[in-house]
Amino acid sequence: MEMNNKNIINRLKRTEGQVRGIQKMIEDNKECMDIMTQLSAVRSSIDRVMGMIVAENLKDCFEHPENSPEEQAKKLEQAINMIIKK
């Protein structure tokens, strides 16, 4: 997953900035709807990062299959469960 780490870290840093912005909005008593809009954007950003990680995990499963079919099936099931729990 190393190739994609930079993209994931950049997205998380952007999300971190959004969260700081929301904290400032709350401190500045901004409108509730504006805060909710920003919270929704953060949630979408986190969902996107989760999707990137799961996709990378699935890609890794196919590019580097386990020697044992049972282990490969277990890895794929774990990746699928991550998607479903999302």
Residue-range domains of the chain with CATH: 5-84 (1.20.58.1000)
Q: Tell me the HSE value of 51 on the side-chain side, using a 13 A CA sphere.
A: 7
From first to last of its 86 residues, the chain has per-residue pLDDT tens of: 455 789 999 999 999 999 999 999 999 999 999 999 999 999 999 999 988 888 888 888 788 887 888 888 888 888 788 777 75
The pTM of this model reads 0.74
Tally of CB atoms within 10 A around 2: 6
pLDDT computed for residue 3 by the predictor = 53
pLDDT computed for residue 79 by the predictor = 78
Helix runs in 28-85, H state only: 32-63, 69-85
Tokens of 40: 């929704």
pLDDT computed for residue 22 by the predictor = 98
